[in-house]
């Protein structure tokens, strides 16, 4: 399995620290509002990578944090006249609903910054003791960037160039010794949440949070650290500086970053009016369609979101779901149970697509090619199945398709047992009405179902239904 490592800018063979186990940390959202579709991209792609590593037999410990103390959270709390924790808890709960809608599995652990303050104070103290940080008279603690010689190794920036870019920037009231130094701990302002510390009543800087939560739940050195490419600099660069200076060992062996998400070829922003929450998109399409759309591109490529592309994603996903539905129907209505010799050949022929899927995912989690392999499998299934096939072949092909879909976090059999039962009962009633020549009732049932997005189709094998 190969991973493109931002640190070396090369695809590298993945070698875990401990055979068979993966320790992975993914930077999570700051919770002050409903998450937007830009937040959804790392959630979906790294959840898919996690699922794939598990499919490959790895035991994955997946940690993803919620940043629950931040200027934006505090501002919103002040606007509403409530505690900052009320805002963050509310939007953590909402974020979890969106994750469920996109079938993003909960992390093994979802740490929250405000619950780990003790560890942060400890790490900041250690950095001061080792000469990598200093406090100033207002109680702010800064990281002494130039004391960490490898600074810039992840973003491939040269510290002297950075220095030049910062030379003229002097923020009034800041007491730091060098423009490159960044905040580890800052004093509270009026009305802000704060914690006691050796330096002042205050709160941690954003970067130290991830260094501490990663250390606490995964140890000093982890296998993979991931996030959006906008986090490479300064967030991840600073995490490396903090963790490696404090712990004295390499922080993460592999760094993975997903590309930007644009809307209609423009950067997503509230001022441009092209800002979408996951909630809005899931209501208009579904979390599954959004997930399929996100996986249709390579995670490192920029991805353009548009209504046309979402419609196309919906149609593509529907083709796969229809193939699954057909197999279920064929299984239920099969006249023979066991596979014939010829059918065994057909099943063996489907192995090729699972191999292609695996090769694509092994190549730096190429979900675009992996989905293409699923499509080839669908085509193979459609051209090799008739209403004469055995139940065993229908079931086996279904299972193969379902396994690959599941690695992508895409649900082949919609969780709709109750709905299925209700639809079946209505179809039964409609058949009875037609037998009784009550065509008005039969048509009414058909129209009612259509209004709910269920299209009935009278075929030679009986009545089938699918979503429209
Ligand atoms: Zn982070």
Report how far ligand 1's centroid is from the alpha carbon of 455 (Å): 46
Place of tokens 């870019």: 165
Long-range contacts of 118-121 (CB under 8 A, 24+ apart): 119/212, 119/213, 119/215, 119/216, 120/185, 120/204, 120/208, 120/209, 120/212, 121/185, 121/195, 121/197, 121/198
> Helix, strand or coil for residue 431?
helix
Location of structure tokens 């008005």: 440
With H, G, I as helix, E, B as strand and everything else as coil, classify residue 271: coil
What spacing in Å lies between the alpha carbon of 431 and ligand 1's midpoint?
A: 58
Dist. CA 395 → ligand 1 center (Å): 44
- How remote is the CA of residue 360 from the centroid of ligand 1, in Å? 28
Q: Are the CB atoms for 95 and 31 separated by under 8 Å? A: yes
The helix (H) or strand (E) run that includes residue 463 is: strand 462-467
Taking the centre of ligand 1 as the mean of its atom positions, its distance from the CA of residue 213, in whole angstroms, is 9
SS3 199: coil
How far, in Å, is the centroid of ligand 1 from the Cα of 354? 35
Which residues are found with C-beta within 5 Å of the ion, ligand 1?
Answer: 27, 210
Calculated CA dihedral for residues 119, 125, 129, 135, nearest 10 degrees: 150
Per-residue pLDDT in tens (0 to 9) along the chain, 468 residues: 999 999 999 999 999 999 999 999 999 999 999 999 999 999 999 999 999 999 999 999 999 999 999 999 999 999 999 999 999 999 999 999 999 999 999 999 999 999 999 999 999 999 999 999 999 999 999 999 999 999 999 999 988 888 766 655 556 567 899 999 999 999 999 989 999 999 999 999 999 999 999 999 999 999 999 999 999 999 999 999 999 999 999 999 999 999 999 998 888 888 888 889 999 999 899 999 999 999 999 999 999 999 999 999 999 999 999 999 999 999 999 999 999 999 999 999 999 999 999 999 999 999 999 999 999 999 999 999 999 999 999 999 999 999 999 999 999 986 455 566 778 888 888 989 999 999 999 999 999 888 877 888 888 778 888 877
Q: Are 292 and 317 a contacting pair, CB within 8 Å?
A: yes
Is the separation of the CB atoms in 360 and 369 below 8 Å?
A: yes
CB of 13 closer than 8 Å to CB of 2: yes
* Interval between CA 155 and ligand 1 midpoint (Å): 15
Ligand 1 center from residue 237 Cα (angstroms): 10
State phi, psi for 167 to the nearest 5 degrees: -55, -40
Task: State whether residue 128 is helix, strand or coil.
Answer: helix
Ligand 1 centroid–CA 63 distance in Å is: 11
For residue 341, how many other CB atoms are within 10 A of its CB? 6
Tell me if the bond preceding 234 is cis, omega within 30° of 0: yes
Rounded to the nearest angstrom, the distance between the alpha carbon of 228 and the centre of ligand 1 is: 10
Backbone φ and ψ for 63, nearest 5 degrees, come out as -110, 130
């Amino acid at each position: 399995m190969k991973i493109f490592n931002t640190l070396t800018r090369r695809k590298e063979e993945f070698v875990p620290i401990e055979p068979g186990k993966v320790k992975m940390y993914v930077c999570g959202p700051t919770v002050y509002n409903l998450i937007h579709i830009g937040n959804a991209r790392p959630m979906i792609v790294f959840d898919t990578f996690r699922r794939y590593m598990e499919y490959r037999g790895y035991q994955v410990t997946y940690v993803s944090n919620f940043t629950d103390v931040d200027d934006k959270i505090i501002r919103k709390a002040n606007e509403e006249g409530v505690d900052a924790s009320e805002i963050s808890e509310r939007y953590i709960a909402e974020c979890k609903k969106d994750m469920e809608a996109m079938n993003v599995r909960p992390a093994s652990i979802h740490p929250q910054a405000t619950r780990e303050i003790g560890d942060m104070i400890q790490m900041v103290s250690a950095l001061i003791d080792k000469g990598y940080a200093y406090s100033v008279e207002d109680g702010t603690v800064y990281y002494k960037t130039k004391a960490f010689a490898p600074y810039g190794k992840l973003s491939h920036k040269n510290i002297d160039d950075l220095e030049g870019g910062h030379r003229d920037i002097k923020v009034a009231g800041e007491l730091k010794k060098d423009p490159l130094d960044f905040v580890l701990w800052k004093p509270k302002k009026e009305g802000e949440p704060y914690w006691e510390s050796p330096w002042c009543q205050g709160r941690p800087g954003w970067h130290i949070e991830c260094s501490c939560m990663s250390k606490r739940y995964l140890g000093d050195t982890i296998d993979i650290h991931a996030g959006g490419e906008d986090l490479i600099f300064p967030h991840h660069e600073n995490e490396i500086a903090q963790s490696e200076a404090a712990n004295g060992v390499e922080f993460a062996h592999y760094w993975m970053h997903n590309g930007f998400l644009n809307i209609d070829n423009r950067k997503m922003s509230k001022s441009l009016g092209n800002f979408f929450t996951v909630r809005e998109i899931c209501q208009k399409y579904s979390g599954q369609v959004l997930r399929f759309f996100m996986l249709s591109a390579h995670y490192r490529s920029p991805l353009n979101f548009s209504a046309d592309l979402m419609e196309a994603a919906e149609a593509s996903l529907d083709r796969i779901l229809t193939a699954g539905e057909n197999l279920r129907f064929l299984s239920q209505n099969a006249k023979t149970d066991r596979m014939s010799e010829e059918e065994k050949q057909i099943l063996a022929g489907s192995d090729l697509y699972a191999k292609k899927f695996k090769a694509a995912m092994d190549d730096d989690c190429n979900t675009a090619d992996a989905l293409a392999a699923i499509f080839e499998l669908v085509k193979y299934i459609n051209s090799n199945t008739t209403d004469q096939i055995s139940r065993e072949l229908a079931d086996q092909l279904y299972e193969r398709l379902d396994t690959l879909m599941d690695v992508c976090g895409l649900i082949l059999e919609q969780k709709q047992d109750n709905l299925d039962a209700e639809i079946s009962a209505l179809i039964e009633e409609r058949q009875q009405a037609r037998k009784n020549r009550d065509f008005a009732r039969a048509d009414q049932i058909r129209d009612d179902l259509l209004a709910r997005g269920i299209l009935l189709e009278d075929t030679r094998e009986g009545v089938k239904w699918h979503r429209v």
